Structure 1
Amino acid sequence: MIITKTREELKLMHESAQIVSKTLGMIAKEVKPGVTTLHLDKLAEEFIRDHGAVPGFLGLYDFPNTLCVSPNAQVVHGIPNNKPLVEGDIVSIDCGAVKNQYYGDHAYTFEVGEVDDDVKKLIKVTKASLYKGIAQFVEGNRVGDVGYAIQKYTEQHGYGVVRELVGHGLGKTMHEDPQMPNYGKRGRGKKFVEGMTVAIEPMINMGTKRIKQLPDGWTILTSDGKPSIHFEHDVALINGQPRLLSTFDYVHEALGIKTDEEDPFRLDISLL
């Protein structure tokens, strides 16, 4: 069942999402060769708690940490550890926070130093596909329209779209209806209605779409060992249009990135 949100609830979700956005912005300054992912995890937990929220992932389904940190061929759900990042790595950092009973949940893939050109392209295409999908999250469209947009854009570059892991509705629980696959057929699936809130999160592999799981029961990685990229935004349907509850502005500021990619979807808080 799809749980629509009131304007007051959307304000609370925006606040939670922005805490995650600021956490990722803080982490962006710390991602560098020699840093361990467990160190990043500790920084994130402290930052979230200092901002009046609690980590959304810690203990959820018995997950042991605040961040899911997934380098290189890991797709998602990587567990932070004491292995230092090295020059040329990429690392997806997925973060959640709960405040006023509502979740924020989004992810960004970072470059560690200088990465190969083919990896840079995969990052660029995956990030662009996120906004291709968000653009289809309009009133009257369906789940398949978002998935089709992401799939078409990424597969035309020869990349693999992960099937087993999907985006999702978001609210007082981390995973609400509907599931939001990154593949699909136009006009199929549940219809989008005013007040819906979803996490759209393309997970795109350089090679095969196939994945496997490590014995830790969490870490998902590509079956061919090639890199995977993950980006995620929290989006609300307001006045029939997609509006971002989250933002990468803090990450972009930390990394010196200039972009207008979020502009078509920015939330005017006065609408709430």
Structure 2
Amino acid sequence: MTIGNEDDLEKLKAAGRVVARTLKAMGEALEPGITTRELDELGRRMLEAGGARSAPQLTYGFPGATCISVGPDVAHGIPDDTRVQAGDLINIDVSADLDGVFADTGASFAVPPAHPRVERLCRDGRRALWTGIRAVRPGASLGAPGRDIEAFARRNGYSLVRNLASHGVGASLHEEPKEIPTWADRSERRTITEGLVFTLEPFLSLGADWVEESRDDGWTLAPPGREPTVQYEHTLVATRRGPVVVTLAD
């Protein structure tokens, strides 16, 4: 999607607020004993209250309103009767359609008490995302955010998962430009255009650079070596005044 006018931007911001507030509420509800299904029901109610529809259900028939992955799983986890435990590393991904406009966000949460290295990984996962966001501007390479994210990861002793990428969003959940790298990719030749709407969602890890299906459900992904991995994601718009992040709760 490319934002063409103020009305388009306001619609995208409205969708962004719904998914951001849903993610925030789900994160605040995380505690030992709650099941991922109960957490997903909270997300479903929040989306419906905001007039939105779950994007993964609408687009792919996903068996949940949101994706909830309990470590070592890192993406596309199906909500079920799994109970959250102290020390778990959990990723929640929320995307939705509001009046024909899609927004997408996600975050990882360490359930206290968490290992210090996992707490640091979460902190640096957020820093990695914002490092990439700061590189977004019209006319820059679409690979610029990934180059800066990889430089950050290398400086701080992390790896990046390289088979999960960012993507265009807005008119649909996944659209052009597809497969936007959140790592340094010398083959990336595309350019960020003014008004372009896309996600940034680096997967920062304590050693993993690949994920694969971890269950027989056709969805859930995890590093083969079970290395702790986090994902943080925002939907943003490239403008001449800098990137506009639309998936902020406040």
TM-score w.r.t. the length of structure 1 is 0.87
Contact 2:168 2:199 in 1 (8 A): yes
CA distance in 2, matches of 1:109, 1:185: 25
Q: Which amino acid is the alignment partner of residue 244 of structure 1?
A: V
Q: Counterpart of 1:209 in structure 2: which amino acid?
A: D
Unmatched segments (≥5 aa) in structure 2: none
Q: Which amino acid aligns with 1:4?
A: T
**Shift, 1:248, TM fit:** 4.9
Instruction: Determine if contact 2:137/2:240 at 8 Å carries over to the other structure.
Output: no
Instruction: Report the secondary structure of 1:44's partner residue.
Output: helix
C-alpha contact 1:126 1:154 (8 A) present in aligned 2 = no
User: d(CA) in 2 for partners of 1:224 and 1:186?
Assistant: 27
CA RMSD of aligned residues (A): 1.5
For 2:231, the aligned partner's letter is: H
Scaled by the length of structure 2, the TM-score of the pair is 0.94
1:61-76 → structure 2 map (5 Å cutoff):
61-76=60-75
> Could you tell me how far 1:52 is from its partner in structure 2?
1.1
Provide the aligned length of Structure 1 versus Structure 2: 247
Aligned-pair CA distance for 1:103:
0.6
How far, CA to CA, are the matches of 1:59 and 1:173 in structure 2? 10
Q: Deviations over 1:89-128 (max 9, x none)?
A: 1111000111110011100111212100011111111110
Quote the residue 2:196 is aligned against: 196
Pairing of 1:13-162 with structure 2 (within 5 A): 13-162=12-161
- Deviation of 1:189 after TM superposition, in Å, equals 2.4
Separation (CA, whole Å) in 1 of partners of 2:145 and 2:117:
26
- Paired amino acid for 2:4: T
Q: Give distance in 2, aligned partners of 1:194 and 1:159.
A: 32
**Which letter maps to 1:90?**
L
Question: SS of the residue aligned with 2:57?
Answer: coil
Instruction: Tell me, in whole angstroms, the C-alpha distance in 1 between the residues paired with 2:101 and 2:233.
Output: 17
Q: How does 1:153-232 map to 2 (within 5 A)?
A: 153-178=152-177, 179-185=179-185, 188-214=188-214, 215-232=216-233
Contact persistence 1:211–1:221 (CA under 8 A): yes
Aligned-pair CA distance for 1:188: 3.9
Counterpart Cα distance in 2 of 1:58 and 1:145: 32
Alignment-derived partner of residue 258 in structure 1:
none
SS of the counterpart of 2:56? coil
Compute the displacement of 1:24 (Å).
1.2
8 Å CA contact 2:17–2:249 kept in 1: the answer is: no
Who is 1:4 aligned against?
A: 2
User: Displacement, 1:194?
Assistant: 0.9
Distance 1:187 1:76 in 2: 26
- Report the Cα distance in structure 1 between the residues aligned to 2:189 and 2:234, rounded to whole angstroms: 20
Structure 2: distance between partners of 1:174 and 1:238? 21
The code of the aligned residue for 1:157 comes to N
User: C-alpha distance in 1, partners of 2:137/2:240?
Assistant: 9
* Structure 1 contact 145–187 (Cα < 8 Å) conserved: no
- SS of the equivalent of 2:184 reads coil
The answer (yes or no) to whether the contact 2:208–2:229 under 8 Å persists in 1 is no
